[in-house]
Chain A
């Protein structure tokens, strides 16, 4: 039984099932309907942040353009379904392919830049996209925004608010599984090696060009999926939504949740987005401190807790092992030493 629960895929499905029950709980009156909407939006942000986590966590490449790509996908999807009246599936394809193509172009640009220049380059790309959102009014609706209705699957199955929420949860579980699969395999190891030292990775036969493009591709695909879900769930897209602050939110989610951790990304999104929406915003005195708290959390986590909240489980189990080791007088020393070296390896790995 414990073995089954330890399987990551089962964990993802269990998390999905737990989230799927929320609308029922809301119907029973335990939580408010608006809470479900907030959690749906949080899941959408989790998806975009997970893409950035693959890019930043695994391969160490920073991007400040996540919000731009997410916005582009949102506008394309809204335009294809509302103005061109094409099916939702076509919109999804278009809204993923076009931004991903652009994202891979940025990836090609990134080959020339070192880490520190890349942030600026992606920031500039996001600025260009934002100018387009503001100025190409026939495509984006300009400052008054673009409208989108809820998705209609296969041309006849029109989803309502709660069904769209189910769709979002299912997409999240599928993406979690895919990313888990990808990062535990050859690709994950290659990206990890690249983060450590590009020259060394290259010497071991890793094609940096290929894996940088793949990392940028995944990040943009996930940002696009998240943008599509956003515009069809929230129903609106304004140019002001897709600014640097949103990209910073994704960054904060990863830093607080933990680099390279899928559950960490989810927890981070919950703490930074859902918590402030559900607990800080309703209290007038605290409504304005959300960005302040976010900034302080980012700085504290980078300085003192660079592995993020996802590392808490390991630390607790370590502490527990050490306590147990102290109680036994003999026979545990070997075990203790082994644990210690593993901890050191992990520390070296993340440093």
Chain B
């Protein structure tokens, strides 16, 4: 039992990483109607910026993070203004291909700007552990759990209760009508891109101390986040986030309790989730979109 509580808490921590990425994906999907495959690469790029400032320039982590957030916002705005806004003629798959092109661009830029070496980023809270039912738990891990939950709660309250949230929801449900009603849809889309990349950066900053900052360090997080978005359904904002925490718990349970789980837990979970996708193609929380000729 004590072991299980440890597994559960660890799942919540990793769930934060996945949920932040999933929220980033769903924000872009809702406002630009495309799945942003470049989410991980953009997160990696900004995390690399923070890591370079910390490791190579000797900045403090807390001074470097605002620069990273600023860079994320600027990138989000630039991507929307220069590329996505002009892609009105491209279909859904065409836009997906554009985000795949973005992967290539930033994977090419990162080694040129930051060099080819992997960097190691310090934890947000460097020291201190707490014992929970005999499981040692670092303050950093607890911070990740609570900060992840805090961001989720803030985002959902913003989306559900405020005027900005209303603008996002109307843009998501029908962009043309929203524009007629006077919602500045262009600004909303731009803000959604900026916010999405900031969320990717936060996810990257939390993940990085557990591995090292390399060109591909966020790919696993992104694939799990994508699965969470599909399993949770693209229809709602909360579906993917709940699914992200759920998948994280399942993944940890598979890896800990299954024989040879550390090796096969992940591929088996992926296969199971593919099956769920087959039977619930619009997600567990989703509803079918009506197709017309």
Contact = CB atoms under 8 A, between A and B. Distances in A.
Interface of A: 56, 60, 62, 64, 109, 112-117, 119-121, 123-125, 127-128, 131-132, 135, 197, 199-200, 203, 244-245, 248, 251-252, 255, 288-299, 302-303, 306, 351
A119 B104 contact: no
Nearest to B219: A244
Contacts of B108: 288-295
The 4 nearest A-B residue pairs measured at CB: A295-B104, A292-B108, A298-B101, A295-B105
A294 B107 CA distance: 11
B93 interface: yes
Contact of B98 (A119, A127, A199, A303): A303
B103 A116 contact: no
Contacts of A62: 93, 96-97
Contacts of A252: 101, 104
Given A291-B107, A303-B87, A306-B94, A298 B293 contact: no
A109 B278 contact: yes
Contacts, number: 134
Interface in B252-273: 263-264, 266-267, 270-271, 273
A104 to B, nearest CB: 14
A307 to B, nearest CB: 12
B31 to A, nearest CB: 14
B90 interface: yes
13 contacts: A62-B97, A113-B277, A135-B263, A199-B291, A200-B293, A203-B293, A296-B101, A297-B101, A298-B97, A299-B101, A302-B98, A306-B90, A306-B94
Given A255-B97, A303-B86, A306-B94, A128 B223 contact: no
Contact of A298 (B86, B100, B219): B100
Given A291-B107, A292-B108, A295-B105, A124 B274 contact: yes
Contacts of B266: 131
A60 to B, nearest CB: 6
Given A127-B223, A299-B83, 20 more contacts: A62-B93, A115-B96, A116-B35, A117-B277, A119-B37, A123-B37, A124-B227, A128-B267, A131-B267, A288-B112, A291-B107, A294-B108, A295-B104, A295-B107, A298-B104, A299-B101, A299-B102, A299-B105, A302-B97, A303-B90
A200 B106 CA distance: 40
Contacts of A297: 101
B34 interface: yes
B101 A119 contact: no
Interface in B193-229: 219, 223, 226-227, 229
Given A288-B112, A299-B102, A245 B93 contact: no
Contact of A295 (B102, B112, B273, B274): B102
A291 B102 CA distance: 10
Q: For the complex, would chain A's binding face be called helix, strand, loop or mixed by DSSP majority?
A: helix
Interface residues of B, number: 48
B98 A298 contact: yes
A121 B277 contact: yes
A199 B290 CA distance: 12
Contacts of B227: 120, 124
Contact of A292 (B34, B86, B87, B112): B112
Contacts of A56: 93
Contacts of B5: none
B44 interface: no
B54 interface: no
B230 interface: yes
B102 to A, nearest CB: 7
B92 interface: yes
Nearest to A289: B108
B166 interface: no
A121 B276 CA distance: 11
Contacts of B270: 124, 127-128
A116 to B, nearest CB: 5
Interface in B92-129: 92-94, 96-98, 100-109, 111-112
B281 A113 contact: yes
Interface in B54-91: 83, 86-87, 89-91
A294 B226 CA distance: 24
A133 to B, nearest CB: 11
Contacts of B103: 244, 248, 295
A123 B225 CA distance: 12
A62 B111 CA distance: 29
Contacts of B223: 123-124, 127
A128 B97 CA distance: 22
A303 B79 CA distance: 13
Contacts of B273: 124
Contacts of B94: 302, 306
B289 to A, nearest CB: 8
